[in-house]
Amino acid sequence: MRGHDIEAPVRERDAAIPRLPGDAAVPLLAEGYGYGARRFERLGSDAFRTRLVGLPVTFVRGAEAARFCAEGDRFSRTAAMPASVLHSLQDEGSVQTLAGDAHRSRKALFLDLLDGSGRERMRSLLREEWDAALEDWQGADTVRLHEAVAEVLTRAACRWAGLPLDDDAADARTAEFLAMLDGAGAFGPPNWRGRLRRRATERWAQERVRDARDGNRGAALERLLTHRDADGRGLNDEVATVELLNLLRPTVAVGRFAVFAALALHQHPAWAERFRSGDEEHLRGFVQEVRRTAPFFPLIAGRATHELEWRGERFAPGALVALDIFATHRDARLWREPLRFRPERHAATGGSDDHRAHAVNALIAQGAGDDLATSHRCPGEPLAIELLEEIVRLLTRRMTYEVPAQDLGVDLRRFPTLPRSGFLMTEIRRT
């Protein structure tokens, strides 16, 4: 065995995409995020075929592949994710599992809720909850940012939805959301714990939905309960509950990017000083570079909705394709010096529509596609970017802190991953 050369590629006659024998499940778990990137590079190909837990799958990377997977109703998320992931995060009937007109209609609901005014309201609540949390953080010997920022985001998101939480409820909901996210990429007990936590959260959310049916509604629940899908039907209690969680949980998930943002500020103090001084020229670029370099979920999977062709290769209806996010974000043909942290690389530039579409589909931390309304790009992506910008401001201007000695290493065999210490902070002071 030579390093990671554990499989000999086999090129089928007249096939453009090489095929790797065996099953990817064990090496994927053993190698983690880098599984696909190593094979794309070794094969000199943006795609390869193999099996994953016994199922035929094609791994792909790159902006062209991202656009192919995300646009034109070519792929559906239905039956594309393992049941353990689906039940930890999305569940049946959610917007992510729909296709065609059903997907566009449901997604329009999310885009309406997360419009400019909705995002500004969330940012305002984030600032309020951060300030409140600072009172406790200042009195603590050590604060672990992973859990601390998750509670801030949980409280802000629930207030935004018209569901304010008392301290006990905030603790419970935060723990449940974190368990869902931590267990989504795991197997066995961690995943089971996440799914159990999700059931507890679902009971709480369904009670809120039922209360709202009786007239006790905030703005978010009002929109959920008055929405009509493409077929003219409203959301039943079960689906409304799933979609309520699909508004709250991804907002809490931004906290994982926030931890990597804090790590980037620590590792690149010149950027922290720039933002502390009020210079925001590359703030959006800093956040985008965090989203590019921070390993979150390693890939997005979909099943072909009809017969497709890409680069001369045929994909039968139902064919499983996995778009490798980690490998795309580290493709040297898309990103000059991809292993360097360079926020200025995201500075806005002109260019043709094709050039801009290529750039959009090279950064796919929350899905791909040029049109937010019709593709499989996450409708919460603009909110995630704005919340991260706000968190960088809060970390650099609202407070000072020390970063004690700790293990900031990132285990790339854990899905989703974090700095091992969760980013510990001491001597926190308000500024």
Q: Note the pLDDT tens digit of each residue in 217-267.
A: 777 888 999 999 999 999 999 999 999 999 999 999 999 999 999 999 999
What pLDDT, on the 0 to 100 scale, is given for residue 55?
94
Percentage of the residues of the chain whose pLDDT score is greater than 90: 74
In a domain, 15, yes or no: no
What pLDDT, on the 0 to 100 scale, is given for residue 91?
59
What pLDDT, on the 0 to 100 scale, is given for residue 139?
94
E-assigned strands of 370-416? 399-402
pLDDT at 14 exceeding the cut of 50: no
What pLDDT, on the 0 to 100 scale, is given for residue 392?
98
| Residue 286 to residues 42, 172, 244, 293, 308, Cα–Cα distance (Å) | 31, 32, 30, 11, 37
Chain-centroid distance of CA 260 in Å reads 13
* Range 278-307 average pLDDT: 95
pTM value is 0.91
Predicted confidence band of residue 370 (pLDDT cuts 50, 70, 90): confident
What pLDDT, on the 0 to 100 scale, is given for residue 188?
54
What pLDDT, on the 0 to 100 scale, is given for residue 85?
58
Predicted confidence band of residue 13 (pLDDT cuts 50, 70, 90): very low
Predicted confidence band of residue 95 (pLDDT cuts 50, 70, 90): confident
pLDDT at 15 exceeding the cut of 50: yes
Q: Which two tokens stand for residue 361?
A: 């589909």
In a domain, 16, yes or no: no
In a domain, 18, yes or no: no
What pLDDT, on the 0 to 100 scale, is given for residue 11?
47
Backbone angles phi and psi of 303, in degrees to 5: -115, 135
Alpha-carbon span 169 to 311, nearest angstrom: 52
- Say which CATH number the domain at 350 has: 1.10.630.10
In a domain, 124, yes or no: yes
Q: Which of 162, 189, 312, 184 is nearest to 247 (CA)?
A: 162
| Listed range (78-82, 339-343, 427-431) with the worst mean pLDDT | 78-82
In a domain, 75, yes or no: yes
Residue written as token pair 């590359």? 282
Return the ∠ at Cα 253 (arms to 247 and 259), rounded to 5°: 150
In a domain, 185, yes or no: yes
Q: How many domains are contained in the chain?
A: 1
In a domain, 326, yes or no: yes
Alpha-carbon span 196 to 179, nearest angstrom: 9
In a domain, 169, yes or no: yes
Give residue 380's identity as a one-letter amino acid code. Answer: G
| Residue 292 domain boundaries | 61-430
